[in-house]
Structure 1
Amino acid sequence: MSAAVSRRVVVVTAVHGPSARFLPEAHRSLCEQELPRGWEWHWVIQEDGRTDAVAPHVPADERVTFRQGRSGGPGVARTIALAHAEGEYVKVLDADDRLTPGALARDLAVLEGDRTIGWATSRVLDLLPDGSTAGFPGDPDHGPIEPGAVLDFWKANGFLAQVHPATLFVRRDLLLALGGWMALPASEDTGLLLALNAVSRGWFSSEVGLLYRKWPGQATGQASHVDPAEREARMAVVESRARALGRFGWGRAVRAVYPEHDGPA
């Protein structure tokens, strides 16, 4: 990886036809980001399928790469997108969401400042159809998240994590080492979050980093997303993977790659 490419944040977006109309808003939120001198972002938009519905909404910007592939769900689309751009860090941005100003710079500062931190998340506000926003109670404290903390909270609170996987910012090599997103019909991002938390320290920013759009067409609003039998199976495999990573000592391997130091001031 060249020095220029290494100083790049790869923003990864999975998209399908119904959510494509929101891409221009996501692009505007990216254009509002200010990164330190010498750093850049590159946006990889991966369509989950091959249709004519998405391309008309893709911004004309040399920093944007648009790809298509056979349908396999958002986890597959995000993972295959990693083949099309290189960079030291990966930021998730769902097609229908928006970053807040400063979100990328805050995430980058945390991981550049402390190599013991493998990933970062931030506070989320729901973006409601009328344009208003709503927050969530019970956010964790601003600062580091120790290994196992997300899994413990998730297990004790009805499979709800206290940090949002849609805000994830992660070291690319760590993401690839874990195999990318899980091959699940849903909860693939939660599965990745818990796996990361099993092997690495994380970070939570109390500053709002994402506006999470609520709208009738979103995948998490469909009846299939809460089908009891499927949901139970998803949660079982998500938990089992995270616990297996902990038992196999992956955390020690990660600490060997990212040795400890004093961290940010």
Structure 2
Amino acid sequence: MNRRIIVITAVHAPSARFLADAYRSLREQELPAGWEWHWLIQEDGTTDRVAPHVPDDDRITFKQGRPGGPGVARTLALAHADGEYIKILDADDQLAPGALARDLAALEADPSIGWATSRALDLLPDGTTAGFPGDPETGPIERGHVLDHWASHDYRAQVHPATLFVRRELLVALGGWMALPASEDTGLLLALDSTSRGWFTSEVGLLYRKWEGQMTGQVAHAGTAERADRMAVVEARARALGRFRWSYPAGQR
């Protein structure tokens, strides 16, 4: 029986139209012999507007649940995630060729690494792409390095949480995504960084779509008061995990 990578996608009605592009990028992934992917699409809600956009493929499971934001939807999807690894893929984004295989190779090669990220490019409305300055070099990310950078760079990490590839056991132990209206993926990234070593791949792993309906583009997302509150609880959790010295693998410091 093949070993599995579970790709988790939270989706709501406005972003459902992009599932076809995400699916195409997933179909084009090539994995080593003995490995397969399975796609869990979790609607953040129970409408009748998402299901028509879900591709017809035995490798896809579609679920619905009470609305609570993308973090809640992804965490609910963990109930059906029966693979060793979890890959995050937002409904409006696309995987770059080879992304899954590179993430898998990094974690299979070193059991002390709990998670991986990769370079992301903004996918602009006109179809062009734009990169980000300051990407790390390919290689391991030692514990605490993402938190230190984030705290000293206006709460901006040097790696993108939308590219996360995580050991399922570690993700479940941390409780999934944070219960926040936004930045729940950043909260997970910093919790992972506080508890285990990571990996960064400088090859492009994700096309991050920029469009008028995305949550990070809304005025409320950058609102000063709420943003400060989100960042405060994200940082407090990450630093508490560091102080408690909870670690993956167990027993490492």
The TM-score bracket by the shorter chain reads: over 0.9
2:87 aligned residue (91, 94, 103)? 91
Deviation at 1:256, TM superposition (A): 2.9
Q: In structure 2, what is the Cα distance between the partners aligned to 1:162 and 1:34? A: 27
Q: Indicate the residue corresponding to 1:216 in structure 2.
A: 212
1:128-143 to 2 correspondence within 5 Å? 128-143=124-139
Q: Indicate the residue corresponding to 1:102 in structure 2.
A: 98
Q: Indicate the residue corresponding to 1:62 in structure 2.
A: 58
Q: Indicate the residue corresponding to 2:13 in structure 1.
A: 17
Q: In structure 1, what is the Cα distance between the partners aligned to 2:130 and 2:8? A: 25
| Residue 173 of structure 2 corresponds to residue 177 of structure 1 | yes
| Residue 245 of structure 2 corresponds to residue 255 of structure 1 | no
TM norm structure 2: 0.98
Q: In structure 1, what is the Cα distance between the partners aligned to 2:4 and 2:85? A: 7
Deviation at 1:211, TM superposition (A): 0.3
TM norm structure 1: 0.94
Cα-to-partner distance string for 1:61-119 (whole Å, 9 max, x where unaligned): 00000000000000000000011230000000000000011000000000001001100
| Cα RMSD (Å) | 1.2
- Structure 1, unmatched stretches of 5+, are 261-265
1:230-249 to 2 correspondence within 5 Å? 230-249=226-245
Cα-to-partner distance string for 1:214-257 (whole Å, 9 max, x where unaligned): 00000000011011111000000000000000000102xx2337
Deviation at 1:140, TM superposition (A): 1.1
Q: Which amino acid aligns with 2:114?
A: G
What SS does the corresponding residue of 2:119 show, helix, strand or coil? strand
Q: In structure 1, what is the Cα distance between the partners aligned to 2:39 and 2:230? A: 29
Q: Indicate the residue corresponding to 2:223 in structure 1.
A: 227
What SS does the corresponding residue of 1:138 show, helix, strand or coil? coil
| Residue 115 of structure 2 corresponds to residue 119 of structure 1 | yes
Q: In structure 1, what is the Cα distance between the partners aligned to 2:37 and 2:144? A: 30
- Structure 2, unmatched stretches of 5+, are none
| Residue 159 of structure 2 corresponds to residue 160 of structure 1 | no
Q: In structure 2, what is the Cα distance between the partners aligned to 1:233 and 1:198? A: 20
Q: In structure 2, what is the Cα distance between the partners aligned to 1:224 and 1:104? A: 33
What SS does the corresponding residue of 1:118 show, helix, strand or coil? strand
Q: In structure 2, what is the Cα distance between the partners aligned to 1:115 and 1:201? A: 10
| Aligned length in residues | 253
Give the 4+ runs in structure 1 shifted more than 4 A: none
Q: In structure 1, what is the Cα distance between the partners aligned to 2:71 and 2:65? A: 13
Q: Which amino acid aligns with 1:151?
A: L
| Residue 205 of structure 2 corresponds to residue 205 of structure 1 | no
| Residue 41 of structure 2 corresponds to residue 41 of structure 1 | no
Q: In structure 1, what is the Cα distance between the partners aligned to 2:95 and 2:137? A: 21
Percent sequence identity over aligned pairs:
74
What SS does the corresponding residue of 2:250 show, helix, strand or coil? helix
What SS does the corresponding residue of 1:14 show, helix, strand or coil? strand
